[in-house]
Structure 1
Amino acid sequence: MLEKMIFGRYVPGDSFIHRLDPRSKLLFVFLFIVAVFLANNTATYALLLAFTLFVIFIARIRLYFLFNGLKPILFLIIFTLLMHFIFTKEGALLIDWKFIKIYEEGVRQGIYISIRFLVLVLMTTILTLTTSPISITDGMETLLNPLKRIKLPVHELALMMSISLRFIPTLMDETDKILKAQLARGSDLTSGTIKERIRAVIPLLVPLFVSAFKRAEDLAIAMEVRGYRGGEGRTRYRQLHWQWRDTLIILIFIILVAALIWLRGGN
């Protein structure tokens, strides 16, 4: 499962979403995260879900590929849904079976929160799938440029976040290799008491941390020998260009927010 994890990966393509300026995509995703909290009823959540599926379609990403790569996160979403079913005790009683009681408000809130979590995960994953790490770095640095006036190291922060994002799939691949190696040596991580399972995880964590620090050290040395000294005085080979499609995506977002506000009033 870990080798199929797609969060943080970049898949080259030529879709409408791929051709967008990274600044417009970053701005859109940030504003979308805020706009999601405007939803408060069935119509608004249905609109968010439909819009997210539309973005997936125009990004030319297969749903099977997307959901198969997000299985660990989907498990967390399902767990959140079940927790609301069990622990929210408001509204009419729908199911009363032995010690399990499920109420109408628990079902409603569980579905709403799960959809909110799902669309946030999908939209941020689409960003990383359709935008290369170097483009994310350039776009983030450009958007944060005004903060240089207060002496904030914008370039270093953008680079740090980009490297962190890029290392997510790398660490997932490394974890999967170590896990398979431990299983081949007879380690059992799925049975026994909780204490025994924690002990079994230690042989997995130690080599993972060692590998992560080794990769970080290699990266630091590589950057140093190439003369990296921060953002001051650096030029860019790839120039960002804001085009009509970038303005269009922002206008679409404004229409989405207007629709959410209008549908909220219908609650």
Structure 2
Amino acid sequence: MLQNIVIGQYVPVESPIHRLDARSKILAVLLMAVVVFLANDVMTNAILVTFVSLLVLLSKVPLRFFIKGMLPIFILIAFTFILHALFTNEGEVLFTVLGFSVYSGGIIQGLFIAIRIGALVIIASLLTLTTSPIDLTDGFEAYLRPFKRFGVPSHEIALMMAISIRLIPTLLLEADRILKAQSARGADFTKGSLKTRLNTMTAFIIPLFVRSFKRAEDMATAMDARGYRGGEGRTKLRILKWQGKDTVAIVLIVLFGCTLGILRYV
């Protein structure tokens, strides 16, 4: 299941979202991170779900691939929903399970929180799914460039951010391989006392760290062999161009946020 995580992967298909400038998509994600918290009732959450679903359809990422990749996140969302349903004592008591009284307010709040988390994860995933690594790096660098006058290495930070995001699925795949290899050797990560489980986890954590550092060292060696010396004096083969469609996309998100804000406080 770990290898199916979609965050950090790129799907090269032709879609309206793929054609947007990386800077507009990064800005859109930041705006949506604020907008999702404006939804606080059934109507606004329904509108939020509809809007995010529309973005997924516009991205033209295969829906089966997307759903399969989001399964681990759905488990986290379900766990969050259950916690709120069991421990939020608001509204009327609906039923009792295992000594816990489940209130209507807990169900509603758990559902709203689950929608927010799911929306944030999907929007963040769409950024990497629809933006190539080079464009993503250039987009981050464009927003960090004003801080360069204060001595901030904008290019290096942007490169590290992009590499970190892209390494997420790779490291998850490595973790899945290690888990399967150790399980095949007889390691059981689900049974025994807490001390036994911690000792067993070392057979997973240590190889994962070793492989991570080895991969980082190989990447550094490869960059050094290609003559990478930082961002100073570097030129770009592809130049980001902010177009009218990028402005329209940002305006639409702002209007969407304003709509949710009006519905929230009216």
> What is the TM-score when the length of structure 1 is the normalising length?
0.95
Q: Give, in angstroms, the shift of residue 173 of structure 1.
A: 1.2
CA displacement, residues 163-185 of structure 1 (integer Å, 9 cap, x when unaligned): 11111111111111112211222
Q: Give, in angstroms, the shift of residue 16 of structure 1.
A: 0.7
RMSD: 1.4
Alignment of 1:4-153 (within 5 A): 4-97=4-97, 99-153=99-153
The equivalent residue for 1:158 is: 158
Q: Give, in angstroms, the shift of residue 235 of structure 1.
A: 0.4
224 and 111 in structure 1: CA distance in 2 versus 1, 3 angstrom threshold = same
Give yes or no for the alignment of 1:206 onto 2:206. Answer: yes
Letter in 2 for 1:61: V
Moved more, 155-164 or 93-102: 93-102
193 and 144 in structure 1: CA distance in 2 versus 1, 3 angstrom threshold = same
Determine if contact 2:156/2:231 at 8 Å carries over to the other structure. yes
Q: Give, in angstroms, the shift of residue 195 of structure 1.
A: 2.6
172 and 111 in structure 1: CA distance in 2 versus 1, 3 angstrom threshold = same
1:237 aligns to what SS in structure 2? coil
Q: Distance in 1 between matches of 2:265 and 2:8?
A: 37
85 and 238 in structure 1: CA distance in 2 versus 1, 3 angstrom threshold = same
Q: Give, in angstroms, the shift of residue 67 of structure 1.
A: 2.3
Q: Give, in angstroms, the shift of residue 226 of structure 1.
A: 2.1
Determine if contact 2:2/2:176 at 8 Å carries over to the other structure. yes
> What is the TM-score when the length of structure 2 is the normalising length?
0.95
Percent identical across equivalent pairs?
Answer: 49
Letter in 2 for 1:218: D
Q: Give, in angstroms, the shift of residue 97 of structure 1.
A: 4.5
Letter in 2 for 1:214: K
The equivalent residue for 1:220 is: 220
1:102 aligns to what SS in structure 2? strand
Q: Distance in 1 between matches of 2:254 and 2:5?
A: 32
Q: Distance in 2 between matches of 1:48 and 1:194?
A: 42
Q: Distance in 1 between matches of 2:205 and 2:97?
A: 42
Letter in 1 for 2:243: Q
The equivalent residue for 1:262 is: 262
Q: Give, in angstroms, the shift of residue 96 of structure 1.
A: 3.0
Determine if contact 2:13/2:61 at 8 Å carries over to the other structure. no
Q: Distance in 2 between matches of 1:97 and 1:251?
A: 47
2:89 aligns to what SS in structure 1? coil
CA displacement, residues 237-261 of structure 1 (integer Å, 9 cap, x when unaligned): 1111112221221121122012112
CA displacement, residues 16-59 of structure 1 (integer Å, 9 cap, x when unaligned): 11111111100100111011122222211111111000000011
Which segments of 5 or more consecutive residues in structure 2 lack a partner in the other structure?
Answer: none
Letter in 1 for 2:165: L
Q: Distance in 2 between matches of 1:4 and 1:265?
A: 39
